[in-house]
Amino acid sequence: MHAQQTTDAPADARAPRTTDETGLPFLFLALTDGTVITQKGTPGECTARFCAGNPRPADGRVTVLAYALGEENFVDANGNNRYDKGETFTDLGDPFRNDRAVTDLNANGGDDAFTSGNAVRVSGEAYIDTNGNDNWDQNGSGVYNGVLQSPGAGGSANTVHVRQALVMVLSNSTPAITYLDQTPVAGVTPTLALPQCVTGSGFVNNTRTFRFAIRDNNPTVFAPNLRSAHPNDATWLFDRPGNPLPAGTRIAFSSSNGVLLGNTVLTVQNTSAADASAWTYAVQMISDAVQDVAFNCSNPVSSGALTITVTTPSGAVTQTSFPVTD
C-alpha cells in the first residue's frame, strides 16, 4: 500500500496484491477513523474507495487498516516448500488500527521517532479478534498458522489475519506561510533585506537566502517539528505546526524588487511526511541595483514585495507578501 494525501475528494487506497501460493481468495476489509469506507474484493487484489467525512482527527491524519485471512511467514530452511518443526516463522497477534500513527512507518505497529510505545494497542483502538477470545492479543499463538506445513510440524492449520496499514493526510486548502529566519512579532511583517548599493562604495551583490514554511494551517506540531527537537540548530527559532498542502498545490514566487534566483514555481509532491523539511522552501534573491565604474548606483526600485501565491487543486488561491528592500 502506498500513502496518499487528499482533500475532500475521494481517493483510492490500494491493498497489496497478495502472493498466497495456495491461490485462496483473499477477504478484504478496511477500517478507518472519521471516514466512510466501501470495499470490494476480487481474488488476490482489492480496492477501497475512501471518502473523507466528519469528524476528522485533529492532526489531519487517518489510519486505514486492511486485513485478510492468510498465513504466517516462515523461513523454509530446508527448501521443501513446507513449514517444518523448528523453522523460523512470524507469529502474528491480533491486528489493531493504530490511530496514533503519524506516517505509514508507524502504522505498521512498530515504534518510530514520532511516538514511543505505539507498537502496542491502547484502549479504544479497533482490533480484529483473530483468535476469538474477546481480547486484543499482542502475541501470536506460539505455533505456526498456515496450510503449508509438514505432518507433525506442530503448528495449527488455521489461517490468521495478515494485515497492512497506511496513513492518509487530510490536508486542508488554507495555507500557512511563515518566514522562518526571524522570530515572529504580532502584527509585524518581516522585511527581506537585500544588499544595498551605496554610491561611492564598492557594491557587493551577495545572494541572500530566505526560508519559508508553506503548509496547511493544521495547528498540530509533530514531534520532529518542535523547536526542542533541534537544540543544536540556531536556525530553529520556533515550533513549526502543520501538514503538507494537498498534493499538486502550486506555489509561485514573484518579486517587484530585486531578482529571484532558481525555480519560482513549485508543485507540492504527494507525501505523508510529518517532517517540516517536506514543506520548507529556501528562496534566493539578489539586488537588482547596478553600479558603474565610477561607483554610481542605479536602483529604480528600492522597496517592493516578494509575493507567494498558493493555488490548491480545489482552486483556492492565497497570496502573502513580504517587503523587499535593496
Q: Work out which of 18, 225, 249, 257 binds Ca ion, going by CB under 5 A.
A: 257
What character string, x for contact with Ca ion (CB under 5 A) and - otherwise, covers 97-136? --------------------------------x-x-x-x-
Amino acid code (one letter) for 318: T
List the interface residues with Ca ion, window 192-211 (CB under 5 A).
Answer: none
CA–centroid distance for 158 within its chain: 37
Please, what is the minimum distance in Å from the beta carbon of residue 150 to Ca ion? 7
Close Cβ partners of 49 (under 8 Å, ≥ 6 residues apart): 10, 12, 13, 37, 38, 39
Amino acid code (one letter) for 64: V
Rounded CA gap, 297 and 290, in Å? 6
Which of the ranges 34-42, 174-182, 213-221, 253-261 carries the binding residues for Ca ion, by CB under 5 A? Answer: 253-261
DSSP-assigned letters across all residues of 198-262: -TTS------EEEEEEEEE------GGGSGGG-TT-TT--S-----PPPTT-EEEEEESSSEEES
* H or E segment to which residue 179 belongs: strand 175-179
Q: Are 253 and 307 in contact (CB under 8 A)?
A: yes
List the interface residues with Ca ion, window 134-173 (CB under 5 A).
Answer: 135, 137, 140-141, 145
Please, what is the minimum distance in Å from the beta carbon of residue 260 to Ca ion? 12
Please, what is the minimum distance in Å from the beta carbon of residue 145 to Ca ion? 4
- Please report whether residue 275 would count as binding Ca ion according to CB under 5 A: no
Q: Are 317 and 251 in contact (CB under 8 A)?
A: no
Which of the ranges 27-35, 176-184, 233-241, 249-257 carries the binding residues for Ca ion, by CB under 5 A? Answer: 249-257
Q: Work out which of 91, 112, 181, 275 binds Ca ion, going by CB under 5 A.
A: 91
- Please report whether residue 288 would count as binding Ca ion according to CB under 5 A: yes
Please, what is the minimum distance in Å from the beta carbon of residue 63 to Ca ion? 20
- Please report whether residue 326 would count as binding Ca ion according to CB under 5 A: yes
Contacting positions for Ca ion (CB under 5 A): 76, 78, 80, 82, 84, 91, 94, 129, 131, 133, 135, 137, 140-141, 145, 257, 288, 299, 301, 326
